[in-house]
Amino acid sequence: TTDQTSKLPLPPGSMGWPIIGESLNFISKPTAFYNDRRTKYGRVYKTHLLGQPTIRVIGAENVQKILTHEDELVTHRWPSSTRTIMGENGVIHSGGAEHNSRRIAIAKAFQHSALSTYVPEMQETVHNFIRTWCDKGRILGYPECRTLAFSITSKVLLGCDFTQSKDVEEALANFEDNLFSFPVNIPGSGLHKGIKARNFLLTKIDECISRHKSGSQSYPSALGLLLSQSPQGSLSQTELRNIALELLFAGHQTTASAACCLMMHLGKKTEVVDRIAEELYDRHLFQEANFNTQLNLDAISELRYLSQVVREVLRINPPVGGGFRKVLKTFDVDGMQVPKGWTVTYSIRDTHETTNFFQQRDKFDPDRWNAIQGDSQEVKYNYLPFGAGARGCLGKEFAKLILKILAIELVRNCSWRLLNASPEMKYLPVAYPTDNLPIEFSSAPRPLRPRALTL
């Protein structure tokens, strides 16, 4: 229902069928669902999804209104299937002071000093994957990036190496694939499968926690760090378990999507690969004698061009399409009402794809960031791959670090060729190429261009 006290109209759009609304179209073809409605209705429209009357909002000013009024105009509310499968004792499905204190505790596992301890394990894992890609010769980029992200996130977030545990990888896929389901828990339903996967993953997380407690963990991890802070820290065991699961969820497909898109864009633009190689050469990270120099966080942070490349990949192909909120108080966007009690979703991808803030916005051009101050207020809501504000991504530096290490190791150790340079993209649950990105790998890196060699 609308808010009768507001004089403003509801946005255009369709509420679909009684009860199920437009959920069937959304679940069967989510990418087309969003694209069609953006074309038909523009920046703000209404729909009915997964049991909730919903308004979708596109565009920097509109998105800013949502992200800067957390706990005042809006609060957390993902669809009920997502809440059930993910659990409500973590950070993603909590609000107010509880959300804030959990965020503060988790942030400690992603501050500079913690991140620097994760680099060796990240580097070694990436390196091993690239070796197997070269051995295989031909790979499918997206599934490989999923497995790579699974391996890194399980090792570095949980401190447990599940690389060879196909049952855990499968359970995570089931968990992720059923997060958006009808809220009906009967055998065979998506929700039922998702809950089963959740319970299995929690038993594995419990094993990781026991291993940490017995001191048999050999490398630094986010969970290890969070555990070492409790019981003095602010997180209870129930919270920690759920947060570990959330980190796995939040870090896995997102990083896989970005890693795959990174390989895709570098595969399309060999001149960008050359520029990265030159930067590595200038920083003594790319010499005949030490192709595989041990990386460290400070050296990686100094690679300015590489950071622009990663930024640009996340601009053109933001892995996450947007976020869900519950409306606490009726407010307006573009002269229309967003009524109290409804769900509002803010769009990342549609905002990136429609903003006029960037010139030639469809062009992959890392140099555009030379002239733009990345953290400026101006760019903040036109470029938001990690969301922003009180619920902005906690793992963004962690994710960017993986992407940079991947780019460095790719450029130093191999060359690769896309077998289809312009694959069709899908965008849900994350951005990915529908053909899975077939790639041919060889173990000889591209030779350095003359400019670098004559330096």
Smallest separation (angstroms) from ligand HEM to the CB of 121: 14
Count CB neighbours of 6 within 10 A: 16
List residues forming the annotated binding site: 393
Shorter beta-carbon distance to ligand HEM: residue 209 or 244:
244
Q: Which stretch binds ligand HEM (CB under 6 A): 14-22, 31-39, 197-205, 248-256?
A: 248-256
The binder of ligand HEM chosen from 54, 254, 308, 330 (CB under 6 A)? 254
* The two structure tokens encoding residue 230: 């409790």
Can residue 387 be called a binding residue for ligand HEM (CB under 6 A)? Answer: yes
The binder of ligand HEM chosen from 250, 260, 264, 316 (CB under 6 A)? 250
Q: Which stretch binds ligand HEM (CB under 6 A): 47-55, 190-198, 335-343, 393-401?
A: 393-401
- Neighbour-count burial of 5, counting CB atoms closer than 10 A to its CB (0-12 exposed, 13-18 middle, 19+ buried): exposed
Count CB neighbours of 96 within 10 A: 11
Can residue 386 be called a binding residue for ligand HEM (CB under 6 A)? Answer: yes
Site string for ligand HEM, 192-231 (x = CB under 6 A): ----------------------------------------
Closest CA to 387 of 178, 38, 92: 92
- Neighbour-count burial of 40, counting CB atoms closer than 10 A to its CB (0-12 exposed, 13-18 middle, 19+ buried): exposed
Distance from C-alpha of 1 to C-alpha of 61, rounded to nearest angstrom: 25
Q: Which stretch binds ligand HEM (CB under 6 A): 50-58, 246-254, 276-284, 439-447?
A: 246-254
Shorter beta-carbon distance to ligand HEM: residue 58 or 258:
258
Can residue 394 be called a binding residue for ligand HEM (CB under 6 A)? Answer: yes
How many residues interact with ligand HEM (rule CB under 6 A)?
23
Contact of 205 with 89, CB cutoff 8 Å:
no
In 245-267, which positions are buried (b, 16+ CB within 10 angstroms) versus exposed (e)? bbbbbbbbbbbbbbbbbbbbbbb
Shorter beta-carbon distance to ligand HEM: residue 397 or 440:
397
Contact of 455 with 281, CB cutoff 8 Å:
yes
Smallest separation (angstroms) from ligand HEM to the CB of 455: 33
Can residue 336 be called a binding residue for ligand HEM (CB under 6 A)? Answer: no
Cα 366 from chain centre: 20
Strand partners, 322: 347
Residue nearest to ligand HEM (CB): 395
Lookup result for tokens 């051995």: 135
Smallest separation (angstroms) from ligand HEM to the CB of 222: 7
Smallest separation (angstroms) from ligand HEM to the CB of 73: 14
Shorter beta-carbon distance to ligand HEM: residue 158 or 195:
158
Main-chain dihedrals φ then ψ at residue 359, nearest 5 degrees = -75, 145
Smallest separation (angstroms) from ligand HEM to the CB of 246: 6
Shorter beta-carbon distance to ligand HEM: residue 308 or 415:
308
Q: By CB under 6 A, what part of segment 62-121 binds ligand HEM?
A: 91-92, 103
Can residue 431 be called a binding residue for ligand HEM (CB under 6 A)? Answer: no
The binder of ligand HEM chosen from 84, 255, 345, 436 (CB under 6 A)? 255
Distance from C-alpha of 271 to C-alpha of 160, rounded to nearest angstrom: 38
Site string for ligand HEM, 127-166 (x = CB under 6 A): ------------------------------x---------
Closest CA to 146 of 258, 256, 263, 255: 256
Can residue 267 be called a binding residue for ligand HEM (CB under 6 A)? Answer: no
Element spanning 44, H or E:
strand 44-49
Cα 260 from chain centre: 12
Can residue 53 be called a binding residue for ligand HEM (CB under 6 A)? Answer: no
Element spanning 425, H or E:
strand 425-426
The binder of ligand HEM chosen from 122, 130, 209, 258 (CB under 6 A)? 258
First and final CA of the chain: distance in angstroms?
A: 68
Shorter beta-carbon distance to ligand HEM: residue 281 or 369:
369
- Neighbour-count burial of 130, counting CB atoms closer than 10 A to its CB (0-12 exposed, 13-18 middle, 19+ buried): buried
Q: Write the CB contacts of 19 (distance below 8 Å, at least 6 apart in sequence).
A: 51
Site string for ligand HEM, 300-329 (x = CB under 6 A): -------------------xx--x------
Q: Which stretch binds ligand HEM (CB under 6 A): 116-124, 243-251, 292-300, 431-439?
A: 243-251
List residues forming the annotated binding site for heme: 393
- Give strand ranges (E) for 255-373: 322-327, 331-333, 336-338, 343-347
> What residues make contact with ligand HEM under the rule CB under 6 A?
91-92, 103, 157, 246-247, 250-251, 254-255, 258, 319-320, 323, 385-387, 391, 393-395, 398-399
